[in-house]
Structure 1
Amino acid sequence: MTAPDEKPQEKPLLKVVKGTPDDYQLAALTAVVAGLASAAPVEDAPKRRSEWANPARRVRRPLQHGPGAWRASAFPPA
């Protein structure tokens, strides 16, 4: 158990497993990794659906019968 004044050990962001980089090389590597992580696209925003894919477009009103019905089928009711 740790004392109340001590902070628990955190995992390091990067771990060098081979070689001995100097401070400048390690700083450059950290900057590149942080830049790539911040440039990742955000997937939380919902994608806008195309109006052509809208299921409501498949539902249509009943076709009118009688004289002028062909014209009424192309124009919405006024």
Structure 2
Amino acid sequence: MSSSEPYLSIVRGDATPEETAALVAALAARAAARSAAGAATRGARPTPPPATGNWRNAAHRLRPGLPHGPGAWRRAFFPGG
């Protein structure tokens, strides 16, 4: 994009100069709010992703492994005993 090309162009409709100015002001305000929010969170620790239940985890649906070693068959069928 060269410096002679417009940064913003209205593709459809007839926008008045006031409407174009309002659009540019809204976009500038949004960009300023985003950069301010980014600067505020840049120094803070990142927040962890929201916790999800185990219903998504495929390993949750698998049964636990069977015990190994002497007496393993007994522990497999009589846990805790």
Query: TM-score, with normalisation over the residues of structure 2?
Result: 0.41
Return the structure number with greater helix share. Answer: 2
